[in-house]
């Protein structure tokens, strides 16, 4: 329950791979997909999302590929997850007002708010740079 999908998992693996590359090096999507063991076409979609948000920069044509759009230390795990999974949302009522007409009185609502803020806080405090450091 309440779990990351494969897409999210793939996204994290992919961007960590990029973060481990030497400064300025670009990687082909084929290379990344093979390295992190993800279907290439699927990972390509994910990286399109990244590129649109500026998390990675992309270049087409010969010598093209992907690299980080900013320093790994400035990219949080939360950003990466939210790009592909959407906002962290333990229950529907947290999205907009009017999504549940009970929200104004409901005693459960604040619990979900707390869950949301805690999870967001954890993921916000983890950067891709940390995740890319030498493995344990």
Binding site for ligand SF4 (CB under 6 A): 9, 91-93, 100, 102-103, 106, 108-109, 112
Q: Which is nearer to DNA, 27 or 77 (CB)?
A: 27
8 A C-beta contact, residue 46 and residue 57: no
Residue 66 sits in the site that holds DNA (CB under 7 A): yes
Query: Using CB atoms within 10 A of its CB, is residue 63 exposed (0-12), middle (13-18) or buried (19+)?
Result: exposed
Which residues contact residue 132 at a Cβ distance below 8 angstroms, ignoring those fewer than 6 apart?
Answer: 16, 19, 20, 72
Residue 107 sits in the site that holds DNA (CB under 7 A): no
For binding to a second copy (CB under 8 A), which residues are involved?
Answer: 1-5, 8-9, 12, 16, 77, 81-82, 85-92, 104-108, 111-112, 114-115, 118-119, 122-123, 126, 130-133, 135-136
């Amino acid at each position: 329950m309440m779990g990351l999908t494969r897409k999210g998992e793939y996204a994290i693996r992919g961007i960590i791979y990029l973060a481990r590359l030497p400064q300025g090096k670009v990687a082909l999507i084929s290379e990344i997909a093979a390295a992190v063991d993800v279907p290439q076409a699927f990972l390509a979609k994910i990286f399109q999302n990244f590129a649109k948000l500026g998390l990675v920069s992309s270049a087409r044509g010969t010598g093209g590929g992907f690299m980080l759009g900013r320093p790994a230390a400035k990219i949080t795990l939360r950003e990466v997850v939210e790009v592909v999974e959407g906002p962290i949302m333990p229950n529907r009522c947290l999205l907009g007002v009017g999504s549940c007409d009970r929200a104004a009185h409901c005693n459960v609502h604040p619990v979900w708010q707390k869950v949301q803020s805690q999870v967001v806080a954890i993921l916000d405090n983890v950067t891709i740079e940390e995740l890319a450091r030498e493995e344990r």
